[in-house]
Amino acid sequence: MKYKAFLSFILFLLLYLHLAAAHAASQAFPDIVCDEPEFFFGAATNTQDIIHEFILSNEGSSPLYIRSVRTDCGCVASKLANDTLAPGENTALKIRLDLAKRSGPQFRRIIVESNDPDKPRMILAMAGEAIAPLEIIPDQIFFGNIHVSAAAQQTCEIKFSEGDQSYIHSASALSPFFVTELISLRPRRDYKINIRTVPPLPKGSLQTSLKVVTDHPRFKTLEIPVQCRVVGDIYSIPEEITVKSKDGAPVARTFLVYSGLKQKFKLLNVNVPVSGMEARIRTMSFANGYRVDLRNIVPSQELNGKNIVVETDCETAPTLNVPLRLQEKAP
């Protein structure tokens, strides 16, 4: 009896498995397929856009719904021709990769999400190498904070690739407060440009461009941004204190005080323009300067045109005015 019961159980189990397999086989599922999930574009100059179409197919037995297409970089744009595929249908996923200002090996992923139960996230990829016809190092020149009397200097280097060799004919600054020197390190390949300030300089933000003229067919003229902040003997960061009107609620602000002469000095006092406002002075151990914490600033029209007066022991700059400005709420 036990043997017969065991045999019956085995027969029942086999029958159940057969029916379950038959039921599963009868179920309809989509099946997303891409015959070329990775596209290698080889070597391309970084002035190009790489455009490629991935062909997506539905080899399943029910409709395929492509829910989203995501990329891992803002330099990749995608366009899907059709997001619903019947069994046997296909569609094109157009990808554009922008190589601007990129150099070296490139690898970008495209993530396709669908209702395929086995492959809900399909990963596609574009790979290759971006070649720069020329390199500008750095591509922007920052002097930082410099004194009105400083003859400060910065350098940039321009390198042409082997297949794009060109001469640089000239390099000049589009401002009378800067002069340049062009040095040929390797003719038609590697150049250095020194750019130096010409004091006395005007206080405040000073911006210009370094204009470079070449015989390259695509880069006949290059413009490299140049920027600096010209300061006096004593200066503050920021130059002015801005507060927003928030229903009259008190706010706090902080500014730093430094020596443009790079010399030690003492901050003697900070005079606030309205009653109730507080100023606390702290010495910064990591730099030759001071931190001023302002508390209980009540935003009001009374602040406009007023100054926070900083007193120092610097003979050439005994006082520094830091303006207060009220920024009105947007309507």
1 falls within a domain: no
How many domains does the chain fold into? 3
pLDDT surpassing 50 at residue 11: yes
273-279: long-range pairs with CB below 8 Å, 24+: 273/303, 273/306, 273/307, 273/308, 273/309, 273/324, 274/298, 274/302, 274/303, 274/306, 279/308
pLDDT tens profile 153-207: 999 999 988 777 889 999 999 999 999 999 999 999 999 999 999 999 999 999 9
Q: What is the pLDDT of residue 25?
A: 47
Report phi then psi at 26, rounded to 5: -80, -15
Query: 179 with 97, same domain?
Result: no
111 falls within a domain: yes
Query: 313 with 265, same domain?
Result: yes
pLDDT tens profile 265-287: 999 999 999 888 999 999 987 77
pLDDT tens profile 210-265: 999 999 888 899 999 999 999 999 999 999 999 886 677 899 999 999 999 988 99
22 falls within a domain: no
85 falls within a domain: yes
Query: 223 with 306, same domain?
Result: no
- What strands lie across the sheet with 267-271, from one edge to the other? 241-244, 319-327, 307-312, 267-271
86 falls within a domain: yes
Range of the domain at 85: 32-131
CATH of the domain at 155: 2.60.40.10
**Which among 231, 254, 283 is the end of a domain?**
231
**Which among 90, 112, 131 is the end of a domain?**
131
Query: 38 with 119, same domain?
Result: yes
Query: 117 with 146, same domain?
Result: no
Q: What is the pLDDT of residue 146?
A: 95
What is the Rg, in whole angstroms, of the alpha carbon atoms belonging to the chain? 34
Query: 117 with 51, same domain?
Result: yes
**Which among 97, 131, 165 is the end of a domain?**
131
Query: 260 with 226, same domain?
Result: no
Which residues are registered as beta bridge partners of 84?
65
199 falls within a domain: yes
Query: 36 with 127, same domain?
Result: yes
Query: 301 with 220, same domain?
Result: no
12 falls within a domain: no
CB atoms within 10 A of CB 235: 21
25 falls within a domain: no
Q: What percent of the chain has pLDDT over 90?
A: 69
pLDDT surpassing 70 at residue 5: no
Q: What is the pLDDT of residue 3?
A: 56
pLDDT tens profile 59-108: 999 999 999 999 888 778 889 999 999 999 999 999 999 988 788 899 99
What does DSSP assign to residue 176?
T
Cα distance between residue 43 and residue 129, in whole Å: 5
